[in-house]
A = this chain, B = another copy of it.
Amino acid sequence: MNIFIAEIKDNKAVLTEEESWHCARVLRKKAGENIRLIDGKGSFYDATIEVVNDKKTTAHISAGPFQQKIRPYTLHLAIAPTKNIDRIEWMIEKAVEIGIDEISFVQCKNSERTVLKKDRILKIVESAVKQSLQAFIPKVNELKPLKNFLSDVTADQKLIAHCFESQRQNIKEISFEGKTTLVLIGPEGDFTEEEVNESKKHNFRSLSLGENRLRTETAGLYVCQAASLLS
């Protein structure tokens, strides 16, 4: 059954304009048809279409809410966007499929990309949520300079993955369960030593992702899989 994102109030659902267009124009749904809805906050609903058109589609809730099974961990990934935006976009798609709660983008000294279309990322996130049959839409934040991000962000544990030879904890030893973990992934060319030191001032611990040198986007996804597999 097709899944649509909607705003739910009592037993009424209003699809977003984009979802209305998809429902009316692409899938050519008619009034009276049953659809499945998600509120983006973790709940599924069954509903029957009342009015369908490409600007505004409304539905009547027939069953639900059904809660998406809650993950035993909360993961916030902060990553420096790659020069080739496709690489970050597929990582986002996969990260959402595996399960992630919040995604931030940071601007580092070695970053080759200085702009990021948040709306485009959000579209990818929403379609991955629906494709993987989830009801929770991860939070996506705007690209901001690393320095500002470091001073603003909070989490139960804050980790920074880098390639400098130093006291780094292997990701296999990290416990993700029952806490909010923020993992920071650097750009192609890695963080600078200054950036790593700056993160230390904000209580970030150094993280190693193992023997092989991973691309930025591979590292980001590896962290998502680790949180999923190690909790």
Contact = CB atoms under 8 A, between A and B. Distances in A.
Given A133-B212, A225-B229, A229-B229, A218 B98 contact: yes
Count this chain's copies in the assembly.
Answer: 2
A225 B226 CA distance: 8
A212 B99 contact: yes
Contact of A229 (B132, B211, B230): B230
Contacts of A229: 171-172, 225-226, 229-230
A213 interface: yes
Contacts of A98: 212, 214, 218, 222
Contacts of A218: 94, 97-98
A222 to B, nearest CB: 6
Nearest to A171: B229
A215 interface: yes
A99 B209 CA distance: 12
A90 to B, nearest CB: 6
Contacts of A99: 212
Interface string A143-176: 0000000000000000000000000000110000
A69 interface: yes
A222 B226 CA distance: 10
Interface string A114-134: 000000000000000001111
Given A97-B215, A225-B226, 11 more contacts: A69-B211, A94-B218, A97-B214, A97-B218, A98-B218, A133-B212, A134-B212, A171-B229, A221-B221, A222-B225, A225-B225
Interchain residue pairs A-B with the least CB separation, the first 7: A225-B225, A132-B212, A133-B213, A97-B218, A229-B229, A132-B213, A94-B218
